[in-house]
A and B are shown apart, each in its own frame.
Chain A
Amino acid sequence: MRRVLIANRGEIAVRIARGCRALGLESVAVASDADLGAPHALAADRMVRIGPAPARESYLNVAALLDAARASGADAVHPGYGFLAENAAFARAVEAAGLLWIGPPPDAIATMGDKLAARAAAAAAGVPLVPGSEVAMGDSAAAARQADGVSYPLLVKAAAGGGGKGMRVVRRPDELTAALEAAGREAEGAFADGRVYLERLLERPRHVEIQVFADRHGHVLHLGERECSIQRRHQKIVEESPCPVMTPPLRAAMAEAALAAARAVGYVNAGTVEFLLDASGRFYFLEMNTRLQVEHPVTELVTGLDMVVEQLRVARGESLSVTQADVTLRGHAIEVRLYAEDPHTSFLPSAGPLLAWRAPAGPSVRVDAGVAAGMTIPVDYDPMLAKIAAWGPDRDAAVDRLRGALAETVVLGPATNLAFLGCVLDHPAFRRGDTHTGFIDEHLHPWQQPEPDLDAAAVAAALAAAAPAPHAAGGGQAAAVPTPWERLGRWRLAT
């Protein structure tokens, strides 16, 4: 392995380029026409245009990606998350082209990617499941009987699903048919596979997932858990490690179940086994994500490992750099996902030019960003702008640091969830660690942004609006407002 093609965009493509650089590997970015000039396109050693803005013609275009690998002399492919990361056909095509696939074996992806097959594999490995059922599409009487068997409230989920797509909550029998149709349609559109299944909706569960890692030498280990209960649209927006209610025996039991699921499919490389954890400490297998997760930074912050580097090492046949005994979870880490979406309108995605962007900094603050001021946030892709994380010696310290980081973040242009994320961190229930997947609906819906500095903001707005426009030439430099040096008058260095 010498040169890695990064088959992705945004912050994760930037992250993977950093991992490659840390190992002395070259990297190749790919960019659609909408992403030329985006940070990820310039973060790697080379850049290849792969097609027009729509994902199907660019980041989901297998032929274009393989052509890009060939043209750039890449000998390995890292898929990131989303797009083709959990597409077994893509993994097989990469291997058939004589390239190294930086991910799990295609068969493991295929098994875990079909949520029904994954449930069967987990059950066979002795892992507890959320009560659920297959469902007969197009036969509403049979579907109603199956739903009664699972019992309401329940979830309709896409067999090929992930990321909340193709998922619907059904609280009453009369909602079932419409939910099956909508979920099937969304699943067909997102995954070209309209099969759905039913799963009981547990009351106030926590979403807790175990990070697993395996190499080709028979080492299968776990890196502890992440709690990702704070979700909107069934998508995570806040993630932390460890889980606030974790105990060593519970962690051991969940990790054992996760490792059993991983071994059952001959897993290699990084993966995540997701569970729901109820108030009594019982846990249930949800699914396995056969890729690097969005929220991997919190695990990196508490373990000190570079998970992208481990992925690259495993892919080129080396052993993991640590054994289970070496893995210790130190302190606490929390991450928030900054999205271009409006919390006032049910988190509707937003797009358009990013006018200003200033990332926070500080002790143990980490920012993974895929945006730069002046770029346009495309409508063609997921609207996540950046991840902001903080580590602290304990949970309170981590929350305090992250809260401070959000207060110094500047993002102007599209509507974002920045202030909403601050409200999550400020909420007394979150501070207590009293979290569950319905947290936002229970505590922060509907939501109105607090405006403690409205008057100061109005004065700043009025001053800016009254300022003379800068010279338009070049769209950049302006002489309308004197710089501090110009205001200083005569000066000399005191010696």
Chain B
Amino acid sequence: MSTTTRLRAGDRVLEVTVLAEGDAVRASVDGRPIEARRLPVPTPPFATAGAVVHEVALAIDGRTCHAVVATSRDRVLVSLGGRTYVFATGEDGAAAGGSGGGTGKIAAPMPGKVIAILVQTGDRVEHGQGVLVIEAMKMETTLTADVDGEVARIAATVGETVDGGALLVEITPA
């Protein structure tokens, strides 16, 4: 079986082709060939909280790589060597876990409470300027403009409890 998967890692797109025959794995990542052998693992894949967790062990050039991989609808998380590699598999790539750069749409990074709004509709703002203060997990965090532009809309009020991902302030890029 040969599959080609496009994985987004931050702002890069990796094209990963995998041909697995028995335990032998012939793969390429952006054209870089990788010859590997799949090693047995003790735990079969299991479903938990909307994701499937796989153990994947590979011998690459004789070196053992033992990864734990969580796949969900639009993301694949890989734990390997004390690091987590985050891959987005969705078409728009928005799920890569980053803060998203330069859209002017300032969203709540997580559920929290709006403590202060630092700008008004029509204000000119610069990239990096604080626009809104949110409290989440007991910490106050100032959300900043990710573009230079003009505040087009404020979609939150002080004291409001907001969901993660909720749009709070919209800035029209200059």
Contact = CB atoms under 8 A, between A and B. Distances in A.
A457 B85 contact: yes
Contacts of A455: 29, 32, 34
Contact of A470 (B40, B52, B58): B52
A469 B47 contact: yes
B106 interface: no
A452 interface: yes
Given A348-B141, A459-B58, A453 B1 contact: no
Contact of B5 (A351, A379, A465, A484): A465
A40 to B, nearest CB: 18
Interface stretch (A68-76, A121-129, A139-147, A415-423): A415-423
A410 B79 contact: yes
Contacts of A381: 137-138
A462 B27 contact: yes
Nearest to B54: A464
Contacts of A411: 79, 84
A379 B68 contact: no
Given A456-B58, A459-B58, A345 B16 contact: no
Interface stretch (A2-10, A219-227, A269-277, A475-483): A475-483
Interface string B15-45: 0111010000101010010101010111011
B109 interface: yes
Contact of B136 (A349, A480, A487): A349
A406 B70 CA distance: 19
Given A186-B140, A353-B48, A413-B70, A461 B109 contact: no
Nearest to A483: B44
A409 B83 CA distance: 9
Interface residues of B, number: 70
Contacts of A461: 5, 7, 16, 69, 71, 76, 78, 85, 87
A405 B116 CA distance: 41
B67 interface: yes
Contacts of B140: 182, 185-186, 189
A494 interface: no
A349 B137 contact: yes
A382 interface: yes
B155 interface: no
Contact of B50 (A353, A469, A483): A353
A476 B69 CA distance: 16
A454 B9 contact: yes
A419 B84 contact: yes
A493 interface: no
A157 interface: no
Interface residues on A, range: 35 or more
Contacts, number: 221
Nearest to A476: B46
A96 interface: no
A481 B68 contact: no
B40 A457 contact: no
Interface string B142-157: 0000000000000000
Contacts of B67: 456-457, 460
B80 A460 contact: yes
A476 B48 CA distance: 7
B60 A412 contact: no
A415 B84 CA distance: 8
A467 B25 CA distance: 14
Contacts of A449: 83-84
B76 A466 contact: no
A356 B56 CA distance: 13
Interface in A436-457: 449-457
A344 interface: yes
B93 interface: no
Nearest to B42: A484
Given A350-B110, A459-B18, A460-B65, A355 B82 contact: no
B84 A458 contact: no
A408 interface: yes
A465 B45 contact: no
Contact of A478 (B44, B51, B76, B137): B44
A463 interface: yes
A443 to B, nearest CB: 18
Given A464-B54, A465-B71, A470 B44 contact: yes
Contacts of B98: 344-345
B47 to A, nearest CB: 5
A459 B81 contact: no
Interface in B109-138: 109-112, 115-116, 133, 135-138
Contact of A464 (B42, B69, B84): B69
A387 to B, nearest CB: 16
25 contacts: A189-B135, A346-B141, A348-B109, A351-B111, A351-B137, A355-B77, A356-B53, A379-B112, A413-B70, A418-B83, A422-B82, A453-B65, A453-B83, A454-B14, A456-B65, A460-B69, A460-B80, A461-B76, A462-B27, A464-B78, A467-B45, A475-B47, A478-B44, A478-B45, A479-B44
Interface of B: 1, 3, 5, 7, 9, 14, 16-18, 20, 25, 27, 29, 32, 34, 36, 38, 40-42, 44-54, 56, 58, 60, 65, 67-71, 76-85, 87, 89, 97-99, 109-112, 115-116, 133, 135-141, 164
Given A413-B49, A476-B46, 8 more contacts: A345-B98, A379-B136, A449-B83, A457-B67, A460-B58, A460-B80, A463-B25, A463-B38
Interface of A: 165, 182, 185-186, 189-190, 233, 342, 344-346, 348-351, 353, 355-356, 358, 373-374, 376, 379-383, 406-413, 415-416, 418-419, 422, 449-467, 469-470, 472, 475-481, 483-484, 487
